[in-house]
Amino acid sequence: MTQSSGSIAVVGAGPSGFYAVDALSRARPDARIDIIDRLPTPFGLARYGVAPDHQGTKGVTRQFDRLLAKPGVRFIGGVALGRDISLPELRNLYDAVMIATGCGRDRRLGIPGEHLDGVMGSMRFVDWFNAHPDAVDLTETIAQARHVAVIGNGNVAIDVARVFAKTAEEMAKSDIDPRAQAAIVAMRLETVSLYGRRGPAEASFTINELNEMGRLARAVALVDAADVANVAAPDSDPTPERLRKQKNIEALRGFSSNVPHAKPVGLAFRFHRAPLTLSGENGRVVGINFAGGSYTPADLVITCIGYDTILPDDLPADKGRVANDEGRVAGLPGVYVVGWARRGPSGTIPTNRADSFAVAERLVTDLAPSSRPGPAGLDALLASRGVATIDTAGWQRIDKAESDAGAREGRPRVKLTSWAALRAAANPA
């Protein structure tokens, strides 16, 4: 391989980073492409966001794994942009840099009481049940909860509610962290309620996810009949969006005829509830006060209202995202951005494919291969700093260890949960 083929660093090994690698390696089969992540493992939210019981969705990672087998493509884990290496350094090493770092933190409600124990953003909760190595153990926090409130009306809210509501048997084929599963099963759960500021027509659920809520073994889906009477998707919506909303409304209308207490857990969809303040006792949340004066008891509140971008290493910001013109980062020639870091936290995994392919095409058009050192220069710099990296073979060893542990329990995998365990599996002594 010659140096003149070009060298590209993709920072962030989530779906948008991998789709970029896919497009770049097709357009420039001889280019040297490093996909770098701060974590020891690839796949971003496909590993640590997507719900553990939706293994079909996680199947996309098999196609990302195949990209790592391509000549010239390397995974470099354990390297954080802004900590282990700076953006100017990457620009000196590679002919182009693609930022694909996603959105790194929960958006806040911004209401009084958000600091109370028992209140958390969905990322904190999802990290825990998905065995993220930075996750905080929530066993104690959830142990005493009986009434869980989930704030938000999108699919993440549904994922969170479903993970609480499902039985251990229903989660048996998932890759949920077994400790989180045990803690959830031990709860004396009575209700899980999803609260939306607006009505059923505005909810951004998708129909498969919503329908699944009507088929749970121990939880009955409930909707107040008044919330779904005389509701229709607006005619002004484009047809696919109108159809999606109409299907949601029909499904919710179906839930409105379910009998409360028909099953041990009530799974209630509540609309037109905008939280104003959270009430607490002894530092712990006990309820939510809504606009209009209504109140509901809740001893665990999980907000699912989106995410904010953590801008790595002084990248220019625009409304919380990396400032860019169709993926070209403002004021930084040779630097590009894709995925949630570019568009904000919206869209499913496939949405990132079209985005990454379009931006990769622009990068390839602009690319002027040079004598920059590329991967060899990165290795030398990281070695000089003593940064312990995880390469593709290291990830494959982690993958095997987790899959083998899963096979022993009839699960797709049992994830290694700590940085130390991941590093040890990747690079055995």
Ligand X SMILES: Cc1cc2nc3c(=O)[nH]c(=O)nc-3n(C[C@H](O)[C@H](O)[C@H](O)COP(=O)(O)OP(=O)(O)OC[C@H]3O[C@@H](n4cnc5c(N)ncnc54)[C@H](O)[C@@H]3O)c2cc1C
* Alpha-carbon span 238 to 427, nearest angstrom: 52
- Given a contact cutoff of 8 angstroms between Cβ atoms, the answer to whether 335 and 188 are in contact is no
156 makes contact with ligand X (CB under 6 A): yes
* Alpha-carbon span 100 to 125, nearest angstrom: 23
Among 349, 360, 378, 426, binds ligand X (CB under 6 A): 349
Q: How many chain residues are in contact with ligand X, going by CB under 6 A?
A: 37
Q: CA geometry: angle at 428 spanning 417 and 35, to 5°?
A: 70
Dihedral angle computed from the Cα positions of residues 278, 195, 176 and 147, in that order, rounded to the nearest 10 degrees: 60
Sheet containing 275-281, strands listed edge to edge, beginning at the edge strand earlier in sequence = 275-281, 284-290, 295-297
Q: Print burial letters for 77-101: b (CB count within 10 Å at least 16), e (below 16).
A: bbbbbbebbebeebbebbbbbbbbb
39 makes contact with ligand X (CB under 6 A): yes
Per CB under 6 A, the segment of 324-332, 345-353, 372-380, 401-409 that binds ligand X is: 345-353
Among 9, 13, 96, 311, binds ligand X (CB under 6 A): 13
Among 8, 23, 25, 44, binds ligand X (CB under 6 A): 44
Per CB under 6 A, the segment of 8-16, 179-187, 292-300, 376-384 that binds ligand X is: 8-16
Taking the complex as a whole, how short is the minimal distance between the CB of residue 340 and ligand X, in angstroms? 4
Task: Look up residue 202 and give its DSSP letter.
Answer: G
For residue 146 the two structure tokens come to 């009986």
14 makes contact with ligand X (CB under 6 A): yes
- Cβ partners under 8 Å of residue 82, min gap 6: 312, 313, 314
38 makes contact with ligand X (CB under 6 A): yes
Per CB under 6 A, the segment of 142-150, 188-196, 334-342, 387-395 that binds ligand X is: 334-342
Among 27, 80, 187, 364, binds ligand X (CB under 6 A): 80
16 makes contact with ligand X (CB under 6 A): yes
> Which residue's CB is nearer to ligand X, number 46 or number 194?
46
Contacts to ligand X from residues 311-330, by CB under 6 A: 312
Contacts to ligand X from residues 287-306, by CB under 6 A: none
> Which residue's CB is nearer to ligand X, number 327 or number 339?
339
163 makes contact with ligand X (CB under 6 A): no
104 makes contact with ligand X (CB under 6 A): yes
Whose structure tokens read 């920072």? 11
Instruction: Identify residue 39 by its one-letter amino acid code.
Output: L
49 makes contact with ligand X (CB under 6 A): yes
DSSP 117-140: BTEEEHHHHHHHHTT-TTPPP-HH
**What are the residues binding ligand X (CB under 6 A)?**
11-17, 36-39, 44-46, 49-50, 54, 57, 80-82, 100-102, 104, 122, 126, 156, 159, 312, 339-341, 347-349, 352
